[in-house]
Chain A
Amino acid sequence: MLLDFQRLGWWKYALLAISLLTAAFLLLPILFIAALSFGSSQWLIFPPPGWTLKWYADFFADPRWLQSAWTSFQIAAIVTVLSVLLGLVTSFGLVRGKFLFRETLRALFLTPMILPVVVLAVGLYAFFLQIGLNGTMLGFVIAHLVLALPFSILSIGKALEGFDKSIEDAAVLCGASPLEAKIRVTLPAISHGLFSAAIFSFLTSWDEVVVAIFMSSPTLQTLPVKVWATLRQDLTPVVAAASTLLILLTVILMALFALVRKGLKS
């Protein structure tokens, strides 16, 4: 019987083998990069002849790497705040409101998620060239907000749908103003949605490269753009160090995400 693991006979081992091989296929390149970043070979020989922190030293000694990381962080932080706020307000409208074309509107808000990013990148590039936003922080923030907002609307909308509105109404009955009830009753209840929205928004902006390539100028680059530009020239191990730092941040955010989910559930 095919949906009972114990009664699959030898098929069980075949399925297990292919799952483990696939997991290894997905995991090993990530570990490989982390290992290479500590390897002493300039030519990325593996296994490395020795171990070194040189590439991290190079990374932290070069102001351009640090500058681009700082730029990335600032943009991602601003995008996160705006995306959660705008996503929250919009989700209230989409979940609570009853109006014509509500589903159409929701679909429109989610479209940037499914559209090829390069189309948005080129479109915004043309637009920003005309209004002088190219190569500015504001341009980056706007572009990344377009990509991050759907994640906020999805996460917060889902949380809000799962929240029983009569609890908020009860608070109003007990004398809270509608706004007070929203802030003190509804917001805490949907905080897990706000939190996922924040993490997804941050990672969307922090990792984004296609739009960023078009938005960047020689003086304003994000970390992914710097990695991209470096990779087009050579495969220096400094990129392995930068990548490992990026991976580390992802792991930390994912762990945080898992912890908060667990905390909210219990």
Chain B
Amino acid sequence: MSSQIRASTASAPVRPARPSGLRWTLPALAFVMLFFVVPVAALLLRSITEPAFGLQNYVALLGSSTYLKIFVNTFLVSAVVTVISLTIGFPVAWALAIMPGRLASVIFAILLLSMWTNLLARTYAWMVLLQRTGLINKMLIGMGLIDQPLPLVNNLVGVTIGMTYIMLPFIILPLYGVIRKIDPAILQAAALCGATRWQSLVRVLLPLALPGMAAGALMVFVMSLGYFVTPALLGGTANMMLAELIAQFVQSLVNWGMGGAAALLLLVVTLALYAVQLRFAGDQRLGDR
């Protein structure tokens, strides 16, 4: 409307192309280019130029059993965290989607509080809870389940517990959205057609929620792959994960070539899995209505 008015008062073309839109994004574009794209690209480039041009860093990275163990650790922990989060997260999201509003809002508040509480504070809590003299071991001994305290920190068990704690809200919230969008009439129809609850769950509800579950699970898996703080504090030095390896290459070993190669590996896996995740999220949007 305004363009018509302006066109009648000035001799401007009626529908001016809007270069203004692009112009407004230029400051942010320059910023993101200079301080995000270029530094990350430069880091990745160093993986094939340092110490000499070639793929020697990748050969060293993929050919060594030390690094292989780190990759396996990373994938294993991320996979286990994802499976546990999904197994717990699905019923919780389901319950949240249908439970009375007041109770649901209390649980939501707890989810958000946990998500936004400082990551170090949460990790610290688990370091204290899981240590040899910590509350968990004391309770297990008190209940007579074990005689000796279990080693729960400085190993992958600790990392898995701590990471699951952090990832749970990240899977519950999107799953909640997915289940909320499912039309209850579909499940009513299943019940009317004589499906038992178990049949409804396995053959109707789960398949309907599946794209959302896949998208959520992939997101949690990818986030876990690149996690740094929690594995470093709960895993100890002997159980390194990929993000720590990158940091160690750069900080302690000052080996930019290897650091860049490990970063590229993490980046490629991350972006590839995100591409898959977007497809699942896209399918889900198509299925909405």
Contact = CB atoms under 8 A, between A and B. Distances in A.
A228 B120 contact: yes
A138 B121 CA distance: 26
A118 B243 contact: yes
Nearest to B88: A22
Contacts of A97: 18, 20-22, 24-25
B21 A120 contact: no
B168 A22 contact: yes
B114 interface: yes
Interface string A114-146: 111111111111110000000000000011011
Nearest to A43: B133
A250 interface: yes
A27 B24 contact: no
Interface stretch (B56-64, B89-97, B144-152, B279-287): B89-97
Interface residues of A, number: 91
Nearest to A33: B125
Contacts of B256: 126
Interface in B119-137: 119-129, 131, 133-135
A120 B92 contact: no
Given A97-B21, A114-B274, A29 B126 contact: yes
Contact of A224 (B118, B172, B201): B118
A173 B5 contact: yes
A29 B129 contact: yes
B188 to A, nearest CB: 5
Interface string A29-48: 11011001000000111100
Contact of A123 (B21, B42, B188): B42
A118 B1 CA distance: 48
B67 interface: no
B24 A111 contact: no
Given A33-B121, A239-B124, A86 B27 contact: yes
Contacts of A18: 88, 91-92, 95
B21 A96 contact: yes
B198 to A, nearest CB: 10
A192 B32 CA distance: 25
Contact of A146 (B21, B32, B129, B274): B32
A258 to B, nearest CB: 8
Contacts of A92: 21, 24
Contact of B2 (A112, A120, A169, A239): A169
A45 B36 CA distance: 44
B249 to A, nearest CB: 8
Contacts of B43: 119, 122-123, 126
Given A126-B256, A210-B228, A224-B118, A19 B107 contact: yes
Nearest to B104: A19
Given A27-B113, A30-B117, A203-B116, A117 B226 contact: yes
Contact of B107 (A23, A143, A145, A146): A23
B69 interface: no
Interface stretch (A2-10, A61-69, A73-81): A2-10
Contacts of B37: 108
Given A118-B246, A166-B1, 8 more contacts: A2-B197, A3-B187, A19-B92, A33-B128, A111-B36, A118-B247, A172-B2, A250-B118
Interface of A: 1-5, 8-9, 11, 14-16, 18-20, 22-23, 25-27, 29-30, 32-33, 36, 43-46, 86-87, 89-90, 92-94, 96-99, 102, 105, 108-109, 111-112, 114-127, 142-143, 145-146, 149, 153, 166, 169, 172-173, 203, 207, 209-210, 213-214, 224, 227-228, 231-232, 235, 239-240, 243-244, 246-247, 250-251, 253-254
23 contacts: A1-B187, A4-B98, A27-B114, A29-B126, A32-B128, A46-B134, A93-B24, A96-B18, A96-B20, A99-B18, A99-B22, A119-B246, A119-B263, A122-B263, A123-B42, A126-B42, A143-B35, A173-B1, A173-B2, A243-B125, A246-B121, A250-B116, A253-B116
Interface of B: 1-2, 5, 18-29, 31-32, 35-40, 42-43, 46, 88, 91-92, 94-100, 106-107, 110-114, 116-129, 131, 133-135, 138, 165, 168-169, 172, 179, 182, 184, 187-188, 190-191, 197, 200-201, 204-205, 222, 225-229, 233, 243, 246-247, 250-251, 256, 259, 263, 266-267, 270, 274
In the A-B complex, list the 6 residue pairs whose CB atoms are closest, starting with the nearest: A97-B21, A116-B226, A93-B24, A243-B121, A123-B39, A29-B125
